[in-house]
């Protein structure tokens, strides 16, 4: 830019758009919003002097040429707020436009000066000049008489009403002459609804569910979809279904004394029957898979596949593409390591190898292969141990043709890395919820997720358990703890999931004291489950998922507010979307009844503090009437450790 151009560019910015939120690394990364949800934007906008400003959001789907507009409201202290609702899945862009509202500046000054007896025809002539250079020139005629003879007496209200004419105002609102446009197309990824609101159920198809004589397969999995859909889940997640390696295969409880009966870990992917694009023949074939997908579709379930980019030593890639793996000096392939531990059953890909381009294309083709088979959700195993640049590239590539695909990052690692994976494209992320137990821990963690920049791109997915993690609390807290953790996950996060039937059947024995792994884990052996057991949590889970499906407040990460309780074992929080207001109270003590006073911040909830308000407990269908801020709650964990209240508005409906 030459000096002259730079200066006139400077001058054009008498109005300053100083800060737009969200704006991730100056537009390097995308904000996120689910299709049909409201996307909010804030901007700090000001100019020198006393002029009144106006501002619009400009937004468009990437394929559209024209911007759409949405007005921003002034919220004081130079902050403007606006929003829009994206109507299609895929990339969008947004900017902010602002300019001096010269007419409104003049009009409000004139009104003050008239009140102070301080105005003359010259002041009105100034307004005519403004109108004359606007898109409302035709209005000058109506004002002109007053610019010659200043209005007096009854003329004044007539004149002031003229200035306020709605047609004039709307014409001027559309006049953006001399406006400043924020310089960067800020990207927004509009995601499918299930990126923001989903209920996951993970299970191992190969296990027995009593209904099966031998080990289960994809046909059995199909038969189980009714049970899963019946509980109200919408996403069914299967661990890897590919052929499993033989070399260094693990036996039960992750030991090495393998026998012919040991099925092996599904994450040791690949053998002579194929790799990431094959199905373990013991589970079935592609016809079985197609039938599974069809049945899921009929039940409005998404099938989520596990993508674990690693190979067993028997994977066809190892012999066909040795160039994709790192070699040790003796010519053997480098196995996975975390010194001094060695994982000789797993060969990691070398994302930096000379042939990285063919490797990356092949891995991309794994996604497109399964998308072709009807899969639109992928749970990605340990993405943080593969090159971040690969993920950024491959997710963007897939999204070009398939913006409806959802990627869940399983990265139980340090916070900066977890956040970065979301920033480069993963729609959802596993979280530390699994280990957040106490009230201060939960409140601090939710504050981090919902109040920091994370909220613009990081969709948490809360899991109380996984095949790898049986947290200490579930080992020791019995049924009340399992109920509590399920309700916390399902009401604190719009995305949550459980690994079942382990979860609803209250499996809770660890591999050993002090360990977080399950004893006799399904990762290494075929288990048998009786899902019809009387103590199953399935009826409760069904109820909780029904509450989620019928309450908009629980379907987004926004609108969470914690409320003080006089007892540290009780946690209370509301979620709110417009008229839908849900108050959840959980007793975090799995052993004892706890009671206390909730200090409900009703002034922040749109309730009239002068009137009683009505609560219905959606878990028990009991009705309550509360008054004012302080109200009493008591929860016995052996009955049920939580309330999920729906609170009805106590304000008069607008006439």
Residues that bind its own copies (CB under 8 A): 7, 10-14, 16, 18-19, 25-26, 44, 46-50, 77-79, 108-110, 112-113, 115-116, 118, 122, 125-126, 129, 328-330, 337-340, 342, 351-352, 356-357, 360, 384-390, 392-393, 414-417, 420
Known active-site residue 623: no
Instruction: Please state, as a whole number, how many other Cβ atoms lie within 10 Å of the Cβ of residue 409.
Output: 28
Beta carbon nearer to its own copies, 3 or 65: 3
Beta carbon nearer to its own copies, 13 or 592: 13
List Cα–Cα distances, 592 to 480, 561, 587, 634, in angstroms.
Answer: 10, 26, 9, 11
CB of 202 vs its own copies, minimal distance in Å: 25
Beta carbon nearer to its own copies, 62 or 114: 114
Q: Is 234 exposed, middle or buried (0-12, 13-18, 19+ CB in 10 A)?
A: buried
CB of 126 vs its own copies, minimal distance in Å: 6
Kindly state the DSSP code that residue 636 receives in the 8-state scheme: -
Q: What are phi and psi of 625, to 5 degrees?
A: -125, 125
Nearest to 464 by CA among 501, 509, 424, 503: 503
CA dist 60 and 258 (Å) reads 58
Beta carbon nearer to its own copies, 118 or 528: 118
Q: Which residue of the set 191, 381, 504, 507 is catalytic? A: 381
Beta carbon nearer to its own copies, 120 or 620: 120
CB of 180 vs its own copies, minimal distance in Å: 10
DSSP element (H, E) containing 306: strand 302-307
Strands 73-74 and 428-430: unpaired
Q: Is 354 exposed, middle or buried (0-12, 13-18, 19+ CB in 10 A)?
A: exposed
Structure-token match 């340090």, residue found: 414
Q: Which residue of the set 104, 288, 345, 410 is catalytic? A: 410
Kindly state the DSSP code that residue 334 receives in the 8-state scheme: P
CA dist 59 and 96 (Å) reads 9
CB-based contact 98:78 (threshold 8 Å): no
CB of 417 vs its own copies, minimal distance in Å: 5
CB of 108 vs its own copies, minimal distance in Å: 8
Known active-site residue 138: no
List Cα–Cα distances, 634 to 246, 568, 617, 620, in angstroms.
Answer: 55, 13, 13, 14
CB of 419 vs its own copies, minimal distance in Å: 8
Decide: helix, strand or coil at residue 549.
Answer: helix
Cα angle 200, 201, 205 (rounded to 5 degrees) comes to 140
Strands 377-381 and 406-410: parallel
Beta carbon nearer to its own copies, 13 or 87: 13
Beta carbon nearer to its own copies, 109 or 570: 109
CB of 336 vs its own copies, minimal distance in Å: 10
Residues taking part in catalysis = 381, 410
């Amino acid at each position: 830019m030459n000096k002259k151009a730079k200066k006139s560019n400077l001058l054009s910015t008498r109005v300053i758009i100083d800060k737009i939120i969200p704006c991730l690394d100056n537009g390097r990364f995308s904000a996120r919003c689910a299709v049909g949800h409201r996307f909010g934007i804030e901007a700090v906008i000001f100019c020198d002097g006393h002029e009144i400003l106006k501002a619009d959001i400009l937004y468009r789907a990437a394929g559209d040429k024209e911007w759409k507009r949405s007005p921003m409201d002034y919220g004081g202290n130079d902050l403007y707020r606006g929003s829009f609702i994206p109507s299609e899945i895929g990339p969008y862009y947004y900017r902010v436009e602002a300019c001096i509202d010269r007419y409104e500046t003049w009009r409000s000054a004139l009104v003050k000066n008239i009140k102070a007896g301080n105005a003359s025809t010259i002041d009105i002539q100034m307004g005519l000049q403004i109108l004359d250079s606007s898109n409302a020139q035709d209005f000058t005629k109506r004002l002109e008489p007053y610019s010659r003879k200043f209005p007096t007496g009854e003329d004044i209200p007539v004149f002031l009403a003229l200035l306020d004419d709605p047609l004039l105002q709307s014409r001027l609102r559309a006049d953006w002459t001399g406006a400043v446009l924020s310089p960067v197309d800020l990207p927004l990824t509009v995601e499918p609804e299930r990126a923001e609101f989903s209920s996951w159920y993970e299970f191992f198809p190969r296990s027995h569910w009593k209904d099966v004589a031998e080990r289960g397969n994809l046909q059995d999995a199909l038969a189980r979809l009714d049970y899963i859909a019946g509980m109200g889940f919408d996403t069914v997640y299967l661990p890897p279904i590919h052929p499993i390696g033989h070399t260094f295969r693990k036996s039960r409880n992750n030991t090495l004394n393998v026998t012919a009966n040991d099925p092996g870990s599904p994450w040791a992917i690949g053998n002579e029957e194929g790799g990431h694009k094959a199905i373990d023949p013991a589970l079935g074939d592609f016809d079985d898979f197609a039938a599974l997908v069809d049945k899921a579709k009929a039940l409005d379930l998404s099938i989520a596949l596990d993508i674990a980019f690693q190979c067993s030593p028997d994977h066809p890639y190892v012999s066909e593409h040795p160039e994709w793996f790192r070699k040790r000096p003796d010519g053997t392939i480098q196995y996975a390591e975390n010194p001094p531990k060695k994982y000789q059953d797993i060969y990691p890909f070398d994302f930096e190898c000379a042939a990285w381009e063919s490797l990356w294309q092949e891995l991309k083709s794994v996604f497109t292969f399964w998308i072709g088979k009807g899969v639109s959700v992928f749970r990605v195993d340990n993405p943080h141990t593969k090159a971040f640049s690969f993920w950024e590239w491959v997710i963007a590539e897939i999204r070009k043709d398939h913006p409806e695909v959802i990627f869940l990052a399983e990265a139980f690692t340090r916070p900066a890395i977890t956040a970065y994976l979301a920033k480069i494209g993963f729609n959802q992320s596993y979280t530390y919820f699994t280990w957040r137990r106490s009230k201060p821990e939960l409140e601090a963690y939710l504050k981090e997720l919902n109040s920091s920049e994370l909220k613009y791109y990081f969709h948490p997915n809360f899991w109380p358990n996984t095949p790898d993690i049986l947290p200490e609390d579930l080992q020791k807290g019995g049924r009340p703890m399992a109920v509590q953790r399920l309700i916390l996950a399902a009401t604190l996060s719009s995305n949550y999931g459980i690994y079942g039937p382990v979860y609803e059947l209250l499996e809770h024995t660890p591999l050993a004291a002090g360990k977080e792994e399950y004893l006799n884990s399904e990762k290494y052996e075929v288990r048998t489950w009786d899902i019809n057991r009387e103590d199953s949590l399935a009826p409760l889970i069904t109820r909780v998922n029904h509450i989620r499906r019928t309450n908009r407040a629980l379907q987004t990460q926004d609108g969470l507010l914690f409320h003080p309780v006089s007892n540290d074992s009780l946690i209370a929080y509301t979620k709110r979307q417009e008229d839908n207001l849900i108050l959840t109270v959980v007793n975090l003590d799995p052993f004892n009844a706890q009671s206390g006073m909730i200090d409900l911040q009703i002034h922040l909830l749109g309730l009239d503090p002068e009137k009683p308000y009505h609560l219905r407990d959606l878990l028990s269908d009991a009705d309550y009437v509360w008054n004012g801020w302080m109200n009493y709650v008591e929860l016995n964990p052996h009955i049920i450790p939580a309330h999920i209240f729906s609170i009805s508005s106590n304000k008069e409906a607008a006439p």
